[in-house]
Chains A and B, each alone.
Chain A
Amino acid sequence: MNDLAPDTSLPLAELIVCPQCDAAYHLKVPAHGERAICQRCGKVLIAPRRNAGLRIIAVSLAVVFLITGAAVFPFLTIDAAGNKNAVSVIDAALAFVGGPMILLSLTTAALIIVVPLARMLLTIYVLVPLVLDRPPARHAVKAFRLSEALRPWSMAEIFVIGCAIALVKVADLATVGFGPAFWMFGILVVLVIAQDNFMCKWSVWNALERPRRS
């Protein structure tokens, strides 16, 4: 980043303050592919990528379809002495139904389907107008805030590892195999990581504030 200890007479619009350690800098937007990093704590402040908006939208759309598919198709199949069972994510999420465990069901469903899906839809809603150089969508600020707040609660990738562990755990009890949804989840995890890589929060906030100049 630029100079630590900026001239405090600078207009506030030309300042950027590290959200992690509170160091203030004179705002200079880096070129595409470059990153502005806080000198004091190392936090990445701005990391614009060329065509990031379009790429993120494309990935989000793909993820929406994958989640929908992954929720419906079975991700694990089991076969023990003729007793067969195949479960989808919805089945797994509903595993705790009955009694107070229903809360756990709802939480599980939210963490592996609802939250990831909601994040993607919110991202598409916020970014499409920006990419088209239109004014931000109604409540775009709220939508982006919600999407960012949901980030830590989106746990599809943890679920994938959970599948693998569950498979090993019952391996000596029965024959277990991965269903199509498992591979969908696998691809989904990679896509979400790629998307996080393209997403520069600062650029989105800036574009939402000054839509036509970004």
Chain B
Amino acid sequence: MGIVACTRCTKAWPLGTQVCGRCGHALVSRDRMSLQRVWAFWVLGVICYVPANIYPMLKTQTLFQVDESTIIGGAVELATHGNLGIAAIILFASVVIPLGKFWAVAFLALSVQQPTGRGRHQRQVLYEIVEYIGRWSMIDIFVVAILSSLVQLNTLASIHPGTAAMFFALSVIFTMLAAQAFDSRMIWDVQAKTKPTGDRGSET
């Protein structure tokens, strides 16, 4: 007898049940369609990440000059002023995390397309890291928002958000959606097939 489980509230239902009677979540034995959503959001995230790095993130207006800095430019500027720690945090949150996340989501999505069964635990850990850490990329957006509202000192100095801020926020949101669309049960599917006594069959 087949069963299908609710991924939201863990309740088991007879195979063929459409909606979980406890929490109302749609029941899918294995959400193969989820990979298409993952890739769609992934592509959108990558596309938005490009202008996010080309356009300026911050426009700083001081008495004598207007300064436009990109994400990386701003971090480099901080580093040259001696704020190495902050520069490192910004670079980590805005460059390392997004790029790492693009790589990790693509790797996970590709790895379940041809199930190998190898490194399941590592891939699960990778997925959890991606889900947990992805949100932290938003930090640069918040810094821009805080600076733009805080530094409004008449003619002395003022800071305005640049075009990149919007693209960057979109990129973070899309990659978060990509990670959420991924059905982590697919990582574990191979074991279910090679060890028939271990788990219930998952095919429809």
How many Å lie between the Cα of A80 and that of B62 in the bound state? 12
**Who on chain B is nearest to A23 by CB?**
B199
A142-154 contact mask (Cβ, 8 Å, vs B): 1 or 0 = 1011001000110
Report whether A108 and B141 are in contact in the complex, using a CB–CB cutoff of 8 Å.
Answer: yes
How many Å lie between the Cα of A169 and that of B142 in the bound state? 13
CB-defined contacts of B32 to chain A, threshold 8 Å: none
B124-151 contact mask (Cβ, 8 Å, vs A): 1 or 0 = 1000000100011011011111111111
How many Å lie between the Cα of A24 and that of B141 in the bound state? 42
Interface residues of B in 107-166 (CB under 8 A from A): 120-121, 124, 131, 135-136, 138-139, 141-154, 156-157, 161, 165-166
CB-defined contacts of A148 to chain B, threshold 8 Å: 8
Report whether A205 and B23 are in contact in the complex, using a CB–CB cutoff of 8 Å.
Answer: yes
Report whether A158 and B157 are in contact in the complex, using a CB–CB cutoff of 8 Å.
Answer: no
A80-124 contact mask (Cβ, 8 Å, vs B): 1 or 0 = 110101010001111110001101100110011000000000000
CB-defined contacts of B120 to chain A, threshold 8 Å: 41
Report whether A24 and B165 are in contact in the complex, using a CB–CB cutoff of 8 Å.
Answer: no
Report whether A95 and B199 are in contact in the complex, using a CB–CB cutoff of 8 Å.
Answer: no
Partner of A170, one of B136, B147, B189: B147
Partner of B166, one of A17, A22, A101, A168: A101
Q: Does A35 contact B (CB under 8 A)?
A: no
Report whether A12 and B8 are in contact in the complex, using a CB–CB cutoff of 8 Å.
Answer: no
How many Å lie between the Cα of A148 and that of B188 in the bound state? 24
Q: Does A15 contact B (CB under 8 A)?
A: yes
How many Å lie between the Cα of A101 and that of B161 in the bound state? 8
Q: How many residues of A contact B (CB 8 A)?
A: 66
Report whether A152 and B135 are in contact in the complex, using a CB–CB cutoff of 8 Å.
Answer: yes
Q: Does A125 contact B (CB under 8 A)?
A: no
Q: Given A40-B188, A141-B23 in contact, is the A172-B81 Cβ separation under 8 Å?
A: yes
Report whether A80 and B23 are in contact in the complex, using a CB–CB cutoff of 8 Å.
Answer: no
CB-defined contacts of B62 to chain A, threshold 8 Å: 173
Report whether B5 and A104 are in contact in the complex, using a CB–CB cutoff of 8 Å.
Answer: no
Report whether B83 and A83 are in contact in the complex, using a CB–CB cutoff of 8 Å.
Answer: no
A209–chain B nearest beta-carbon distance, Å: 5
A177-214 contact mask (Cβ, 8 Å, vs B): 1 or 0 = 00000000000000000000000011001001100000
Q: Does A33 contact B (CB under 8 A)?
A: no
Report whether A91 and B149 are in contact in the complex, using a CB–CB cutoff of 8 Å.
Answer: yes
Q: Given A22-B192, A96-B148, A174-B151 in contact, is the A83-B86 Cβ separation under 8 Å?
A: no
How many Å lie between the Cα of A7 and that of B13 in the bound state? 15
**Who on chain A is nearest to B161 by CB?**
A96
Report whether A87 and B146 are in contact in the complex, using a CB–CB cutoff of 8 Å.
Answer: yes
CB-defined contacts of A137 to chain B, threshold 8 Å: none
The winner among A22, A76, A83 for most chain B CB atoms within 10 A is A22
The winner among A21, A81, A92, A169 for most chain B CB atoms within 10 A is A169
**Who on chain B is nearest to A18 by CB?**
B10
Report whether A201 and B9 are in contact in the complex, using a CB–CB cutoff of 8 Å.
Answer: yes
Interface residues of B (CB under 8 A from A): 1, 3, 5-14, 22-25, 62, 78, 81, 83, 86, 89-90, 120-121, 124, 131, 135-136, 138-139, 141-154, 156-157, 161, 165-166, 169, 173, 176, 180, 184-185, 187-189, 191-192, 197-200, 202
9 residue pairs A–B, Cβ–Cβ below 8 Å = A5-B198, A12-B13, A22-B199, A78-B153, A95-B161, A155-B138, A158-B139, A169-B143, A173-B151
